[in-house]
Structure 1
Amino acid sequence: MIPLSVPNLKGNELKYVTEAIEDEWVSTGGSFIDRFENDMARYLNIEQAIAVQSGTAGLHLALQLAGVTNKHEVIVPTLTFIAAVNPVKYIGASPVFMDCDNSLNMNISKLREFCKTECSLTNSGLVNNKTNKVIKALVIVHVFGNMANMEELMKIANVYNLKIIEDATEALGTKYTSGKYSGKFAGTIGDFGVYSFNGNKIITTGGGGMLVAKDSSLAGRAKYLSTQAKDDSLHYTHNEVGYNYRMTNLQAALGVAQLEQLEVFIETKSNNYFYYKKLIDGIPGLSLLEFNKKTRPNYWFYSIVIDNKYSVNRDQLLEELNKRNIQTRPIWGLIHEQKPYLSEKGYQIEKANYYYKQVLNIPCSSNLTKIEINRISEHLKDINSQ
């Protein structure tokens, strides 16, 4: 079986985890947590990063710190993993679903049109004319490591007073190489950025995530809230409701070792992407999804788009490849069609419906070999010729 996306643990992972165990610091205290946070901040060229239990926990904290309450709405994509949207519900706010563009990221043109024609800018903020609720924030997801159009998004945010939360859970290492934000990493442009280290991400801690904030005082508050809001840790004084959201030292030990290898992983995934592209471009009906040309992507996931020139549809191709021991996955089910969100509003969702039916993710691990890529490509050709 060629798996879809698995960890690459060939660095100092065992050494650092063993050190943490020998020091008997295995829970939410220990030197590796501080080290991982400092290493991440240094990598991203920012002041501070806060290690948390998951990307979802980071998003929950970011929404709270952005001032979102149960009286507000939050603009979100429909084409994403549901974890990007569930924290909106944790707070009791309402999501407003937005369509995607051809990059699978949020359609910024439709977002601008929605803000201009469906909302009113008031002293209280941007008000949805249909619900009379203030739209407080927007969650932008850099889908599969591909940078969304942050230049245009930040213009809209400035006009309409929206807090921007970057879900960079799939995009660690992706950065602009030209334009206004040249040199800036995904997750460091908006008001908040969130990263994930789940087992299938470009680096992993088994679980865990990281939260960053443009306002350093809010980063400090995130750390406070993530550690049960302790005002006096000796006498267990808590003046607010906090969360058990702190990363463990064992996870952080893995993270330190993984971050040491991130640039090597990106280089490997870039080489594999272009090798795939050369082979897949010669197969009628298939194309490899492009990345934003103004960026150095992390090439986290490789997505093929299947059109009617190919001999089978997405589901048939998925089934056939899995039979041949090649693990593939469809894109996520659109969130506005999921049962918990059927009563929520969406705006002109069209392209997301198309891409949901046409996109298939193929093996993309950083330890994927050219021999395996050749095998996958040959099977794609063979299926098309049947």
Structure 2
Amino acid sequence: MSNYQEAISFIKESFGTNDFIPLHVPHFGGNEKKYLADTIDTTFVSSVGAYVDQFEAMMASLTTTKKAVAVVNGTAGIQIALKLSGVKSGDEVLTQALTFVATANAIAYNNAHPVFIDVDLDTMGLSPKAVEAFLTEFGELRSDGCYNKKSGRRIAACVPMHTFGFPVHLDKLLEVCAQWNIPVIEDAAESLGSEYKGRQTGSFGQSGVFSFNGNKIVTCGGGGAIVTNDIKLGEKGKYLTTTAKIPHPYEYVHDELGYNYRMPNLNAALACAQLEQLDAFLQNKRVLAAEYKTFFESKGIHFRTETPDTKANYWLMCVELEDKKERDLFLKYTNESAVMTRPIWQLMFRLPMYRDCQKDSQEHALFLEERIVNIPSSVR
């Protein structure tokens, strides 16, 4: 308990306040007001406007990919990325149970079935070894793809999620999935600015998807982006997310089922202003992470840091407590003291809509579920 009280005092000192400290709030210190005023002055506030184009160009440049597509949120982005990869109704998608519900929901929106594979302890993200073990036991390669021998369904994609901005072991995961003819869609919603071996997350799979929700490192209130090195795939994504409308001077021609997943120019303006500050945000958060690491390690509490060959964005920082009892005590004391902390998510197979999904042992996910707590992580 004394350690927890010291942690509360340290966090309040770090943020320079005795008032309530949220988990993560946006920081608006650049051209946000200027760009928003510009959208109003030009009247281009909807999904057509210069800032949408600028945002897509900035995202492609940041991730060193060939095409970026602005969308209304990250969940919609994953849904469309899966559709673009060929996921069809009744297919299965490998992913992790230790994730935010949007990952699994996006799979379900395609009428596909999530299959939950364990995570690695060091990254808290999808484990290549666990994926390989699952496919060795249940996978069957056929002429039209990989099938699950237990369910008889086609395994159409794999969606790793870079938990809290910590990149998964991408090299090995991509190698395993390639052997089984399974495309990889990166759920990079939490990892904008994170790097794996010098490359931005989101740029490794067939496509990657980012979120710009209000609690993300860069926000535009709501919003998302799909990035890919497959230009034709990206163009198809833009087409599908803009109601599948064929260009025409005045006629409304839609030749397949499309989605109204367009990002408004207002949101894109905000996103552009935020992206201009990303490097400063990342540096600011790395300083806070270093301070946290020094403090918590001096108290015998494990502060989660980036793995070798990676550079994390430290979006939501977290500590690992001894067990569930200690976790719950830490959550109780901090929240009662106006310091917002949150446990990691409930594992997806605990939720009623995913209770019957196939899963492996989940040994590491179960361990982390009982111990990981997020602590205040805002740019100061």
C-alpha distance in 2 between matches for 1:89 and 1:176: 29
The corresponding residue for 2:231 is 216
Q: 1:79-118 to 2 correspondence within 5 Å?
A: 79-102=98-121, 103-118=123-138
Matched AA of 2:368? Y
Contact 1:170–1:300 (8 Å) recurs in 2: yes
| Paired amino acid for 1:298 | N
Contact (CA 8 Å) 1:78, 1:335: kept in 2 or not?
yes
Aligned AA (2:46): S
Q: Which runs of 4+ in 1 moved over 6 A?
A: none
Q: Does 1:197 align with 2:212?
A: yes
- 2:148 is aligned with what amino acid? N
Deviation at 1:290, TM superposition (A): 2.2
Three-state SS of the structure 2 residue aligned to 1:281 is helix
Q: Which residue matches 1:5?
A: 24
- Please list the CA deviations of residues 194-234 of structure 1 after superposition, one character each: whole Å capped at 9, or x if unmatched: 00000111100000000012311010000001110001452
C-alpha deviation, 1:173, in angstroms: 0.7
**Shift, 1:72, TM fit:** 1.1
Matches of residues 158-177 of structure 1 in structure 2 within 5 Å? 158-177=178-197
Counterpart in the other structure of 1:329 = 342
Contact 1:139 1:166 survives alignment (8 Å): yes
- Aligned partners of 1:287 and 1:14: how far apart in 2? 40
Q: Which residue of 2 aligns with 1:306?
A: 321
CA shift for structure 1 position 115? 0.8
Kept in 1: contact 2:127–2:173 (CA 8 A): no
Contact kept? 2:194, 2:311, Cα under 8 Å: yes
Residue number in structure 2 paired with 1:277: 293
Aligned with residue 132 of structure 1, among 152, 160, 167:
152
1:248-285 deviation digits (Å, cap 9, x = unpaired): 0000000110000001100111111011100000113x
Amino acid corresponding to residue 140 of structure 1 in structure 2: P
User: Separation in 1 of the partners of 2:338 and 2:226?
Assistant: 37
1:17 — aligned with what? Answer: 36
Contact 2:66/2:230 (8 A) holds in 1 = no
Match of 1:365 in 2: 378
Considering only aligned residues, what root-mean-square deviation do their CA atoms show, in Å? 1.2
Deviation at 1:42, TM superposition (A): 1.4
Structure 2 equivalent of residue 376 of structure 1: none
Letter in 2 for 1:276: Y
Deviations along 1:52-82, whole A, 9 cap, x unmatched? 0000010010010000001311001000001
2:255 to 222, 232, 239: 239
Where 1:345 maps in the other structure, the secondary structure is: coil
Partner of 1:116: helix, strand, or coil?
A: helix
Query: For the Cα contact (< 8 Å) 2:59–2:227, is it kept in 1?
Result: no
Show CA shifts across 1:120-174 (max 9, x none): 1222221111111110100010000001000001111110000100000000111
Unaligned runs of 5+ in 2: 1-19
SS at match of 1:166: strand
3-state SS, counterpart of residue 89 of structure 2: coil
Q: Give me the whole-angstrom Cα distance separating, in 2, the residues matched to 1:125 and 1:32.
A: 40
Residue 346 (str. 1) matches residue 359 (str. 2): yes
Q: Does 1:65 align with 2:84?
A: yes
Residue 230 of structure 1: which of 227, 233, 245 is its match?
A: 245
Query: Separation in 2 of the partners of 1:42 and 1:148?
Result: 22
Letter in 1 for 2:299: I
- Equivalent-residue separation in structure 2 for 1:43 and 1:63 (angstroms): 22
In the alignment, the residues of structure 2 paired with residue 244 and residue 236 of structure 1 have an alpha-carbon distance, to the nearest angstrom, of 14
Paired letter, 1:295: T
Shift, 1:298, TM fit: 1.0
Q: Partners of 1:107 and 1:66 in 2: how far apart?
A: 21
Task: Give unpaired runs (5+ residues) of structure 1.
Answer: 178-182, 368-386
Which of residues 158, 162, 173 is equivalent to 1:153?
A: 173
Q: Which residue of the partner structure matches residue 255 of structure 1?
A: 271
2:37 and 2:109 map into 1 onto residues whose CA distance is 36
1:15-62 Cα deviation digits (max 9, x unpaired): 100111111111111111001111111122222211000000100100
- Counterparts of 2:319 and 2:196, CA distance in 1: 24
Find the aligned partners of 1:56 and 1:176 in 2 and give their Cα distance. 23
Aligned mates of 2:379, 2:278 — CA distance in 1:
10
Give me the identity figure in percent: 38
> Matched residues in 2 for 1:176 and 1:98: separation?
21
In structure 1, give the amino acid aligned to 2:367.
Y
8 Å contact kept, 1:168–1:187: yes
Matched residue, 1:74: 93
> Partner of 1:251: helix, strand, or coil?
helix
Q: In structure 1, what residue type is equivalent to 2:204?
A: I
Query: 2:214 & 2:104 partners in 1: Cα distance?
Result: 20
CA distance in 1: counterparts of 2:120 and 2:57, whole angstroms:
35
Deviation at 1:332, TM superposition (A): 0.7
Contact kept, 8 Å, 1:232 with 1:238, in 2: the verdict is: no
2:56 is the counterpart of 1:37: yes
Corresponding residue of 2:69: 50
